[in-house]
Amino acid sequence: MIVSHKSMVEEIEIDNVGVKNAFMKVLISPKEGWEGYVMRLFKLKAGGFTPKHAHPWPHINYIISGNGTLHLDGKDNSIESGSFAYVPAGKTHQFMNISNTDLEFICIVPEEGHK
């Protein structure tokens, strides 16, 4: 069980090929008792993006703040605060921040997707 605040969680800079100005916080995971899933908070700073990639697990996303684009299976989709998305397993996707403010979003994946 956990009750906390995002300000209390360590932020990790993502330093991979195809990534720019991206940061992550692990909010809830099996460590806190949610077996099989992980809820992460991503922040893309101005000009930031995740890699264009696909993987064998699905994920769900909820946009907390900012404006951006979710490239999903060949189509660019505008996203903003309040937007949500389901990315099926195997679909190519990429998040991009198109504004001068941070783009923050929740990403929930099966535990295998967080290794």
| Best CA proximity match to 27, nearest among 57, 5, 45 | 5
The CATH code of the domain that includes 104 is 2.60.120.10
Percent of the chain having pLDDT more than 90? Answer: 97
Predicted confidence (pLDDT) at residue 27 exceeds the cutoff of 90? yes
Q: How many domains does one find in the chain?
A: 1
Domain assignment of residue 30, yes or no? yes
- pLDDT of 39 reads 98
Domain assignment of residue 51, yes or no? yes
pLDDT tens string 39-91:
999 999 999 999 999 999 999 999 999 999 999 989 999 999 999 999 999 99
The Cα 47–Cα 23 span in angstroms is: 13
Predicted confidence (pLDDT) at residue 109 exceeds the cutoff of 90? yes
Domain assignment of residue 5, yes or no? no
Structure tokens at 27: 């909010």
- pLDDT of 18 reads 94
Predicted confidence (pLDDT) at residue 5 exceeds the cutoff of 90? yes
- pLDDT of 32 reads 93
Triad 31, 4, 58: Cα angle to 5°: 55
Q: Which residue carries 């923050």 as its tokens?
A: 104
Structure tokens at 49: 């993006």
Range of the domain at 17: 10-114
| Best CA proximity match to 6, nearest among 32, 36, 28 | 28
Predicted TM-score (pTM) of the model is 0.95
Domain assignment of residue 3, yes or no? no
- pLDDT of 88 reads 97
The Cα 52–Cα 38 span in angstroms is: 21
Could you write out the three-class secondary structure of 41-102? EEEEEEEEECCCECCCCCEEEEEEECEEEEEECCEEEEEECCCEEEECCCCCEEEEECCCCC
| Band of residue 98 on the pLDDT scale cut at 50, 70, 90 | very high
